[in-house]
Each structure stands twice: as structure tokens, then as C-alpha cells.
Chain A
């Protein structure tokens, strides 16, 4: 059996951990620059605030219902996500972190007593007590069905208590007949419209389509989804081409004249490179950094400087790689006008292989953090979450009118508790 665990209204829930006074009120979290609603409390949903609504359109609704909004505090959400994911790992033999607020748990060969449902209820309660984050759990024989079960758990909290298990044919059919086609995992808007025109209204209707039709029109991906919904587990992880080295470089329109400017760019390049590295599930053993002046400029001697560092341990952590890049840059930097800079990550091997090495038992301490970083950046656009020294964090001031304190990541922001 698989479980799909996801946090309810995750960003809002993170804020409410430290603001219990706002429980039971409409609360929303806004995207960067306070543009759009990206998370809503149940009460905010109830007063009709749609997901993605521009803030100016819903501000009056919030005011009318004594609601509150927050600017997105990704430092807080990232840390809370890490906590929830770490807690989940204690509950299952294997876990796949699917997004910042979702994870698949693999319960194959695992039969807790008295039942999976009881076990899941206990897990839900413990995770809420330990982190303050409420979760919903869907359990089923396939990943796609676990997603369906999760939707049932979320939609009917009173009946399910936030946990729904699809473990027989009757429950499977009932859930699929209830689930609208547009809410099926992997069916995009375009496909749900096409299917609806064909009279396919629910997930159940979809599973009634002939295999040939599904394969012909929706490729093997669609067919896999159909099989998954029928209870046949067949979803595999996406494979990504494996590269031997990864390089990132840019020429600058305006030459850079200070170490800090160059460093900022190099950190951006490392971040991009490290993200690619993690996508193909590799770790790097060496980092190369180079800078050069404009070779076409007359009368001036062209400069080209480069340095390589061999890493103490192979890694894909942006934080570790940045440390080495900084060291290299300190060694090679000279104050000439820098026209182009670049980084190359070398000596790549699969991170699976690296995990088998016993020489570095303490490696990859940033794995979870990097995973969260990548997933946030995937979900909300590259550069949503950055390393502090990275380009952009200094230059473009982001409008964040109502940013909550970073309760869990900055000493100056921790909770204040009264003893009065």
C-alpha cells in the first residue's frame, strides 16, 4: 500500500502554528510581491476567496470578515516542511518527498496492528502535536489511488477524520465515481475539457475507456494512469539524462568591477548548476570557477583566471558548493573588469553510488534542505528561494508588506513567551 500525506493549507498552517489567535478566521498567504493568494485557511475558502486571486480583488472580502493576510515567508515554510518530512520518515519504511507539502509513503510489506487506518490516525495526531501542522492521509494500493483517497479524506474531514483508506473494490469504485475528472492526478485542464466533451465526468468514467483509445490519444502516460486507478501499481520515477559535467556561464552586458558583484553571480551559477546536478541525482567531486575580461578590448591585456577545488566529499548541496566556489574566487580574483564568469561541476557520479561509500558517513547533510529548495523553486518559479548571497536577493527588493517573523530560522525572530 502507498500513502499520500499532505499538509492542509500548508503555508497558512505554518503561520497559524505561531499565531493561534488567528485560528478560525480567514487567513491567506500571498505570493512574492504580495500579488496573488497562494494558500487559504478553510475559513478563507468558505468566504469565497479563490486560489490564485489577485490580492486587490479579495482585500475587501478579507476586511469584511475580519481576515488576515501574510506575505509568503518561504524561510519559515521551508523549515516547517523539513520538520514534517523528517517526522514522516519515522512512520514508514520508505518515503518519497513529492513537493514541499506532500509525500508518498511506501507501506509495502508493512502491516501495522490493528490496522493501517488506526496507524495513520496515530501518525496524523503525532505529527500535528509535534509540528503544529495538520495533515490528511490517503492510503491505497497505487500512488494514483492514494491521491484519490487523500482527496476523499480532505473533502470529508468529519466522516474520515482526515484519513481514508481504499482497500477494497467497493471503496475504490465509490471514490472514483465521486471524483470529478478535472481533479484526477495528472489530468490537466486541457485534457479534462476534452474528456468532458466526450462525456467523461468522473475518474470512474475515465477507467471505463478502452485501453486502445487511451493509449492512442493520451499516450502510455494516460494508460498508466488508467491502470493505476484500476488498482494496478505501475508508476515509475521519471528518468533524466545523466550528464558527465555541468557548466553554467554568462557574459555580462556591463563589466563587473568588484569582488562582491562577481561573487554574487558565481553563487547564482552554482545554484543553477547544483539544481541540475540534483535533478539528475548526481553529486560532484570538483568545482571549477573562471573569470575573464573582454578579449576584444584593444590596448588592454586580456585576463583569464581559473581555479579548481577538489571537494572533501562529493556533494550536490548548493551551500557546500558555494563554500568551495568562494574559496576559489578569493584565490583567483583580481580587480580587472570581468566580462564573463562561469562555473563547471566535475567528477560527477550518481548520488546512489555515493551513498554506498563508507568513507563519508556524515555527508549530504543538506539533502533535505536542497530538496525543499528545488521543489519550492519548481513549484513557484526558479529563484523563489535562494541562497542569501545569490544575485537578486541583494538587488531586487521584494515587496513584502506583512512578512511574519522567521520563528524557526532566526534567533532575533523566535517567539516571545510571557512570564507575567
Chain B
């Protein structure tokens, strides 16, 4: 992979990746017979962001946020949520819930066997879940992917 220097000051240098170079994969026309590189023994796979964000691939889903009721915990409009459906709901966890016809993201709070969906923005009020509500805890939010550009 080639990297092109794009900007530097006295401390930091920034590189741009050559996208074409990144697309390359091993392509060998004949069986390699040369001396193997001693570095091969120390090869490691490059860091993969999805490994960090996704612990359980089979139960992980993504969703995009619309609205700012969770602003104070860093979940903003347009952010992408990483949701693990296999995790159990628990006090304080942030969950994607389905309430009365729409998906919403809120913090779970349990009090005297009642579930509250608590926003993280003083301009919004908590929702008390009652039996009349058509309510599902759909999955637990594990990470937020936020663009800073």
C-alpha cells in the first residue's frame, strides 16, 4: 500500500492512502518458488474497525439516528448506531425500542417494575411504558459512529 504525504508540521505528518493500491490482492501466475521473506513470520492482519465495533456479528445491526433527544450522551442526528440484539436489557443501557409504531433510541430505566425510556436532552420528557403501549426492546446500543466532518 502506497501512502502519499499530504500535509505536515513539525510534529505530525498526514498521509493519504492510494485507493487503487488498496484494491490489490495476491495474484500469482506461477507457484512462488523463491526464498520466503523472513518478515512473513511476523505478518499480522491489519486492524479492522469492525472487529472493534462488532462483538457478535450474527446479532449486530445498524441504524441511523433521526433527532437529537439523546444529544447529551453523544448520540446526534445522523449518527449510526451499532445495535446488538443478543444483549439483555438492563438498567441504564441505551436501547433501540419500538413504541407505538416507531423505532426510538432511549436510555432504559426500571423503577418499581415500570420501564421508563429516558432521553438525554432536557428538552424532552421521559416516556413511561404502560400496558397499552405496543412496546418492544429491539436491541441494545453498543457504539455510536459519528462523523466529525
Whether A87 is near chain B, meaning CB under 8 Å from some CB there, is: yes
Chain B contacts for A312, CB-based, 8 A: 25-28
A130 contacts the other chain (Cβ, under 8 Å)? yes
Residue B142 interfacial (CB < 8 Å): no
Q: Which residue of A lies closest to B119 (CB)?
A: A419
Band of interface residues on A = 20 to 34
What does the 1/0 interface line of A398-420 toward B look like (CB < 8 Å)? 00000000011001001111111
**Residues of chain B at interface, number, CB under 8 A:** 43
A54 on interface, CB distance cutoff 8 Å: no
Known: A87-B58, A131-B58. A417 touches B81 (CB 8 A): yes
- In the complex, which of the residues B45, B59, B80, B81 has the most CB atoms of chain A within 10 Å of its own CB atom? B59
State A83–B57 Cα separation when bound (angstroms): 8
Q: Indicate if B143 sits at the interface (CB-CB under 8 A).
A: no
The answer to the question of A129 belonging to the interface, with a C-beta cut-off of 8 Å to chain B, is: yes
* In-complex Cβ contact of A407 among B61, B67, B101 (8 A): B61
Determine the chain A residues whose CB is within 8 A of the CB of B53 once the complex forms: none
Chain B residues near A418 (CB, 8 Å)?
65-67, 102-105
Q: Is B2 an interface residue (CB 8 A)?
A: no
Complex Cα–Cα for A420 and B101 (A): 14
Contact with A along B46-60 (1 / 0, CB 8 A): 000000000011110
Q: Does B116 contact A (CB under 8 A)?
A: no
Task: Scan residues 32-85 of chain A and give those whose CB is less than 8 A from a CB of chain B.
Answer: 82-84
Given known A130-B56, A312-B28, A407-B61, contact A419–B70 (CB-CB < 8 A) = yes
B90 within 8 Å of A (CB atoms): no
Q: Chain A contacts of B80 at CB under 8 A?
A: 414
Q: Is A129 in contact with B101, judged by CB distance below 8 angstroms?
A: no
A132 within 8 A of B: yes
B75 contacts across to A, CB distance below 8 A:
419
Interface pair B61/A415, CB less than 8 Å apart: yes
What residue in chain B is nearest A126 (Cβ atoms)?
A: B86
Q: Is A397 an interface residue (CB 8 A)?
A: no
Q: Which among A309, A362, A419 is the interface contact of B66 at CB below 8 angstroms? A: A419
Chain A positions within 8 Å of B, measured between CB atoms, are 20-21, 82-84, 86-87, 126, 129-132, 308-310, 312, 323-324, 327, 362, 407-408, 411, 414-420
B residues touching A (Cβ–Cβ < 8 Å)? 25-31, 45, 56-59, 61-71, 75, 77, 80-81, 85-86, 88, 96, 98, 101-106, 119, 124, 134, 136, 138
List 15 A-B residue pairs with CB atoms under 8 Å apart, sorted by A's residue number: A83-B58, A83-B59, A86-B57, A129-B59, A130-B58, A312-B26, A312-B27, A362-B45, A414-B62, A416-B63, A416-B65, A418-B65, A418-B104, A419-B66, A420-B69
